[in-house]
Amino acid sequence: MCGMSTDKIFTAILIFLCSALSFFIFMLSSASNGAHYSPVEIPAGSGFKDIAAVLAEKNIVRSKNAFIIYGVLSGSAHQLKPGNYLLSSGSSTPVIVWAIKRGPTIDKSIFIPEGATVRDIDNILSEAGVLPAGTLVNFNKSYEVSLRKVGDYEFLRGIFSLEGFLFPDTYRFFKNTSAEAVLKKFLDNFQKKAWPILEECQKSKVKCQMSEAGEILIIASLLEKEAPDYEDRRMIAGVLYKRLEIGMGLQVDATIVYAKCGGLFITCGSPRVLKSDLAVKSLYNTYLYRGLPPGPIGNPGLDAIKAALNPIASEYIYYLSDPKTKKTIFSKTLDEHNDNRVKYLGN
């Protein structure tokens, strides 16, 4: 080193700095050539390094360290805002930093009520601008193929429809996002909140009234429509299981509404069941066909699922809902039930 001239030392340093700068600029470039968008959630309280780690894990940025260095040098490290983002791996690190510094502008909070059907949810999401109308319904029709893009969920094996598995909750969705991203959010939530208790039940059938988790979901979807009170739902579950055991039709009005309204409840124009509806030729007509309907008639919440798993055994075989109090009136005989119909329903 001592024998090197000043010019040579300066040239070596300059070459090193240029190489380092070129490498740094390369590491700031986009992680991929295509514009592959991914939803990214940055929780409140996330540190700058935490954000960098999330982005690197999702392959949004090419280098976690380059992201950190750029954030510090640009003065943006402590200006990044939490929230939900739709970020592209085709964007450079400076663009990603700018987007997170600006804050989320395209996510929406969407409430999915308990008991909503796939078609109901499709309407809710399309009205909010999250998905084009019909996207979720069409996805449901070809879900065996489409789910390969979403992930392998144990609870969907052998299931012919997504009905029952789109867990009702409040979600934050992006406008004009993909059906796969929306569906993954629903299914991940189901896997986190509902599947653990269903899986435990399925593995230990002593605790299970039904043999399969899918059957529990069917009962839970019926309970969701039959009564709002948890204890009433447990009592109704006991009645429904008894009817199945003795070979009696379930005779649940909501199943006819599901068939009559084409899988809709929220926007069904005529949800009331008429005597003529009892003859509707549909496997969901639990007056006409005995046993369980082919699948759930909506997406039940956790309380309904727990009620289906914890029925109360009783001597009752009939029930109706008091339209004034919303309480369920139970009876042991058909004569008693008919008397209650006159008393509470006027017919």
pLDDT at 241 over 90: yes
Cα distance between residue 271 and residue 131, in whole Å: 26
Tokens encoding 287: 């007056």
pLDDT at 8 over 70: no
User: What would the mean pLDDT of 12-26 be, rounded to a whole number?
Assistant: 63
Cα distance between residue 67 and residue 55, in whole Å: 9
Instruction: Answer with the one of 102, 122, 145 that is the final residue of a domain.
Output: 102
Question: Which of 150-154, 279-283, 299-303 has the highest mean predicted lDDT (pLDDT)?
Answer: 299-303
Q: Please report which confidence band the pLDDT of residue 206 belongs to, taking 50, 70 and 90 as the band edges.
A: low
Give this prediction's pTM: 0.71
Asked whether residue 337 is domain-assigned, the answer is yes
Asked whether residue 50 is domain-assigned, the answer is yes
Query: What letter represents residue 255's amino acid?
Result: T
Following DSSP, what letter does each residue of 319-335 receive, concatenated?
EEE-TTT--EEEESSHH
Sign of the four-CA dihedral 256, 215, 120, 265: positive
3-state secondary structure of 298: coil
Q: Which residues contact 288 (CB under 8 A, 6 or more apart)?
A: 249, 278, 279, 280, 281, 282
3-state secondary structure of 109: strand
Q: How many CB atoms lie within 10 A of CB 71?
A: 24
pLDDT at 159 over 90: no
User: What would the mean pLDDT of 250-256 be, rounded to a whole number?
Assistant: 93
Asked whether residue 4 is domain-assigned, the answer is no
Asked whether residue 137 is domain-assigned, the answer is no
3-state secondary structure of 277: helix
Q: How far is CA 241 from the centre of its chain?
A: 28
pLDDT at 145 over 50: no
pLDDT at 143 over 60: no
* pLDDT above 90: percentage of residues in the chain: 38
Asked whether residue 111 is domain-assigned, the answer is no
Which runs of consecutive H residues, i.e. helices, occur in 104-212?
118-127, 135-141, 143-146, 179-193, 195-203
pLDDT at 186 over 90: yes
User: What would the mean pLDDT of 73-98 be, rounded to a whole number?
Assistant: 82
Total number of domains in the chain: 2
pLDDT at 15 over 90: no
3-state secondary structure of 318: strand
Tokens encoding 148: 């390969």
CB-CB contact of 147 with 93 (8 Å): no
pLDDT at 289 over 50: yes
Cα distance between residue 324 and residue 338, in whole Å: 18
Q: What pLDDT does 25 receive? A: 65
CATH number of the domain where residue 80 is located: 3.30.1490.480
Q: What pLDDT does 246 receive? A: 94
Helix-then-strand count for the chain, H and E: 14, 6
Asked whether residue 233 is domain-assigned, the answer is yes
Asked whether residue 48 is domain-assigned, the answer is yes
Domain range for 33 is 28-102
Instruction: Answer with the one of 102, 127, 148 that is the final residue of a domain.
Output: 102
Q: What pLDDT does 116 receive? A: 96
Instruction: Answer with the one of 55, 80, 102 that is the final residue of a domain.
Output: 102
pLDDT at 3 over 60: no
Mean of the per-residue pLDDT values for the chain? 83
pLDDT at 235 over 80: yes
pLDDT at 146 over 60: no
Q: What pLDDT does 319 receive? A: 94
E strands present in the chain: 37-42, 83-88, 107-111, 170-174, 318-321, 328-331
Asked whether residue 124 is domain-assigned, the answer is no
